[in-house]
Amino acid sequence: MLLVVEQFLNGLQLGLLLFLLAAGLTLVFGIMDLVNLAHGSLYMMGAYFAATFVAWTGSFIGGIVLALGATLLLGIALEFIALRHLYGRDHLDHVLATFGLILFFNDAVRLIWGPAGLALPLPAWLTVPIQIVPGVFYPAYRLAIIVVALAVALMLYVVVMRTRLGMLIRAGASNREMIGALGINIKLLYTLVFGLGAALAGLAGLMQAPILTVQIGMGENILILAFVIIVIGGIGSIRGAFVASILVGMIDTLGRAFLPDLLRKILSSAAASTAAPALSSMLIYLLMAIVLVVRPEGLFPANRR
Amino acid sequence: MTASLNARNVVAALIVVGLLLLPLYAQFSGNMFVLTLFTRIVIFALAAVSLNLIMGYGGMMSFGHAAYLGIGGYAVGILAAEGIGSGFIQWPVALLASALFALVIGALSLRTRGVYFIMITLAFAQMAYYVAAGLARYGGDDGLTIYKRSDFSGLINLSSRVQFYYLCTGCLFGGIYLVWRIVNSRFGLVVQGLRSNEQRMQAIGFPVTRYRLVCFVIAGTMCGLAGALLANNTDFISPAVMYWTRSGDLMVMVILGGMGSLFGPVLGAIVYLVLEEFLSQVTEYWALIMGPLLLLIVLFGRGGIMGLLGRFSRG
């Protein structure tokens, strides 16, 4: 019981974290039609900025706020210098150019911070375990991730669904040419959306940083997960990204936790212990393959005609 | 089609002659490193040529092409580890396994289009990656050392650097010839027609998915051959060969050289890998230069290097 609750919360936490990453990616994808492989680099930069600023200011919250701002600025600069010129080009051009950006960011980080990873230590008040139900303790920091991510998701929902900016974003996702024709300043909208996506990716990176080490290439594995999520959810759909993120987070975490025991009931224990890790890593890709075979446009296609 | 003396054809001819004469240069200059480097380049060029068949001519943007490198490599590695050293068994198994994998994932993936196709092929390649990482008996994450190269019982000795190089080059030229024949056949014309307008081809009455699938399987098989060569070249195979950045490398080679041109991917592989080698000798931080370079090529050089050459020769 205890394990189940704990793993359930871990799944929720991973899912929400992935949502922060996927939300920015799906917005950029849906509105600018830009395949941004470098989104994972922004996640990495968020973590590095946080580790640096926290050490520099000596304050956890202060460092994180500075890191968020820095990632936002970096995102806007990136859009302004490079990515802006890629809109309307072939998806393959995007893949090539942003692949180049990944190479650049990885080596830039190696040059500035060195090849060894960094650690982002938690302040004391975030390391205590909290009793959530009688007898079940859960680390305060992981709980904080869940709360912050849920708050950001809610905020994103309000912004996208209830404000004028959100209306423009949704309009952009369903018909790009039309909102341009209606006289909306698309360039500004694009820069804003990209900055927002970058800040969200940075937030995900810096929140993950105290749990894992801050290292080069940390964004690459999780980027693929984020892509899986937006494809499952339907490109351009925030709602789809949310549902798919939670689904992927849960399946991945619960699969890793419980699949070995399940397999052991069917197979011999030797066979189960070799098959389980591979199978549990594959689960989400299996999920994506099934979703795409059944619904080739994802669960919640954004631009229905 | 008349072969004329334009910049593209000159470059293609230079590549062929250069690759054929390279071992001579290596012998005379005593610079054997060049041969090692170019063996690797030629193998990746073969993989890039096969990717170009589906991506450049067929319009199917596969982001999981490195999976076949791994499958071909693991077929060789696993058989060698089990004591079956004969290349006459290893290589057909490598080709067959790649073809089967391509058939299955192609049948599923080709239901989708555009970005979704990019992503689903990526997903399948990642699955293959995790399967390989889970093969505890064959090294798992750490990979598998191949102690003896494929044995072709006296026909060709893969341990001789020069012979192995010529085998790889022969495979590359064979691959290019095959692609050339395919592209100019009725089958190839249908596949290219599908790239430009699927609805029309369907309306004319072609079984769209079947044509695409056959093309997909041919490309996968060809890349499986590159995988078998690669495993023999490095005497080692690990899941890292199938990681998505490797698929990205292959895509970069094709786009860099010029999609949908016969020799483009070869040129792309040469430029990409030589540049990587050269820059990593100049500075430890070679990617700091390589990254922005790729960006500039995308921004200013549409159609890759072959596209640039085409514009140049038109005046």
Q: Write the DSSP symbol of residue A139.
A: E
- CB nearest to B124's CB, from A100, A289, A297: A289
Please check the confidence at residue A218 and state whether its pLDDT lies above 80: yes
* Other C-beta atoms lying within 10 Å of the C-beta of residue B257: 28
Please check the confidence at residue B283 and state whether its pLDDT lies above 80: yes
Strands annotated E in A108-168: 129-133, 136-139
Residue span of the structural domain in which B164 resides = 8-247
Please check the confidence at residue B241 and state whether its pLDDT lies above 80: yes
Residue span of the structural domain in which A224 resides = 2-294
Question: Mind spelling out the 3-state secondary structure of B210-264?
Answer: HHHHHHHHHHHHHHHHHHHHHHHHHCEECHHHHCHHHHHHHHHHHHHHCCCCCCH
Question: Of A21, A12, A26, A15, nearest to A231 (Cα)?
Answer: A26
For B75, phi then psi, to 5°, come to: -60, -45
For residue A219, what pLDDT is reported? 86
Residues of B in Cβ contact (< 8 Å) with A107? 285-288, 291
The count of domains in chain B is 1
d(CA B240, CA B121) in angstroms, rounded, equals 17
Question: Mean pLDDT throughout A146-159?
Answer: 91
In a domain, B266, yes or no: no
Please name the amino acid found at residue B50.
S
Residues of B in Cβ contact (< 8 Å) with A35? 115, 118
Q: Do the interacting molecules here have an ipTM over 0.85?
A: no
Question: Tens of pLDDT along B62-112?
Answer: 999 999 999 999 999 999 999 888 989 999 999 999 999 999 999 988 988
Question: Tens of pLDDT along B250-280?
Answer: 998 998 888 888 999 999 999 999 998 988 8
Please name the amino acid found at residue A260.
P
Strands annotated E in chain A: 129-133, 136-139
CB burial readout A254-264, b (16+ within 10 A) else e: bbbbebbeebe
In a domain, A73, yes or no: yes
In a domain, A302, yes or no: no
For residue B85, what pLDDT is reported? 87
A 182-211: CB under 8 A from B: none
Question: Tens of pLDDT along A271-302?
Answer: 777 777 778 878 888 888 888 888 888 888 76
Contact status of B295 with chain A (Cβ, < 8 Å): yes
Cα torsion A263, A264, A268, A269: sign:
positive
In a domain, A23, yes or no: yes
d(CA B207, CA A31) in angstroms, rounded, equals 34
Task: Answer with the residue of higher pLDDT: B287 or A244.
Answer: A244
- CB nearest to A96's CB, from B120, B244, B298: B298
The count of domains in chain A is 1
Question: Mean pLDDT throughout A80-95?
Answer: 86
Contact status of A261 with chain B (Cβ, < 8 Å): no
- CB nearest to A288's CB, from B120, B256, B302: B120
d(CA B263, CA A239) in angstroms, rounded, equals 45
Closest chain B CA to residue A226: B119
d(CA B40, CA B241) in angstroms, rounded, equals 13
CA A217 to chain CA centroid, Å, is 15
CB B106 within 8 A of CB B213: yes
Question: Of B9, B11, B8, B29, nearest to B19 (Cα)?
Answer: B11
For residue B315, what pLDDT is reported? 45
Residues of B in Cβ contact (< 8 Å) with A275? 134
Task: Answer with the residue of higher pLDDT: B301 or A106.
Answer: A106
CA distance A106 to chain B (A): 8
Q: State what percent of residues in chain A have pLDDT above 70.
A: 98
Closest chain B CA to residue A275: B134
Is the Cβ pair A95, B251 closer than 8 Å?
Answer: yes
Crossing angle, helix B208-234 and helix B32-52, to 10 degrees? Answer: 170
In a domain, B117, yes or no: yes
Contact status of B131 with chain A (Cβ, < 8 Å): yes
Question: Mean pLDDT throughout A226-249?
Answer: 89
For an interface test with B, which of A105, A107, A280 has the most B Cβ atoms less than 10 Å from its Cβ?
A107
Q: Is the pTM of this model over 0.95?
A: no
Contact status of B96 with chain A (Cβ, < 8 Å): no
Contact status of A87 with chain B (Cβ, < 8 Å): no
pLDDT interval class at B1 (50, 70, 90): very low
Contact status of B128 with chain A (Cβ, < 8 Å): no
Question: Mind spelling out the 3-state secondary structure of chain B?
Answer: CCCCCCHHHHHHHHHHHHHHHHHHHHHHHCCHHHHHHHHHHHHHHHHHHHHHHHHHHCCCCCCCCHHHHHHHHHHHHHHHHCCCCEHHHHHHHHHHHHHHHHHHHHHHHCCCCHHHHHHHHHHHHHHHHHHHHCCHHHCHHHCEECCCCCECCCCCCCCCHHHHHHHHHHHHHHHHHHHHHHHCCHHHHHHHHHHHCHHHHHHHCCCHHHHHHHHHHHHHHHHHHHHHHHHHHHCEECHHHHCHHHHHHHHHHHHHHCCCCCCHHHHHHHHHHHHHHHHHHHCCCCHHHHHHHHHHHHHHCCCHHHHHHHHHHHC
Question: Mind spelling out the 3-state secondary structure of A254-285?
Answer: HHHHHHHHHHHHHCCHHHHHHHHHHHHHHHHH
User: Is A204 in a helix, a strand, or coil?
Assistant: helix
Give the best-scoring range by mean pLDDT among A89-93, A167-171, A204-208, B220-224: B220-224
d(CA B166, CA B91) in angstroms, rounded, equals 17
Residues of B in Cβ contact (< 8 Å) with A220? 244-245
CB B306 within 8 A of CB B258: yes
Contact status of A295 with chain B (Cβ, < 8 Å): no
CB A14 within 8 A of CB A253: yes
Q: How many Cβ contacts (< 8 angstroms) between chains A and B?
A: 141
* Other C-beta atoms lying within 10 Å of the C-beta of residue B58: 24
pLDDT interval class at B16 (50, 70, 90): very high
Question: Of A236, A217, A289, nearest to A37 (Cα)?
Answer: A217
For residue A305, what pLDDT is reported? 37
In a domain, B77, yes or no: yes
CATH code: domain of residue A80: 1.10.3470
pLDDT interval class at A304 (50, 70, 90): very low
Q: Which two tokens stand for residue B160?
A: 């001789």
CB A215 within 8 A of CB A11: no
For residue B4, what pLDDT is reported? 60
Task: Answer with the residue of higher pLDDT: B206 or A134.
Answer: B206
For residue A119, what pLDDT is reported? 85
Q: Interior CA angle at A299 toward A297 and A300, to 5°? A: 85
Question: Of B215, B211, B225, B201, nearest to B150 (Cα)?
Answer: B225
Is the Cβ pair A282, B130 closer than 8 Å?
Answer: yes
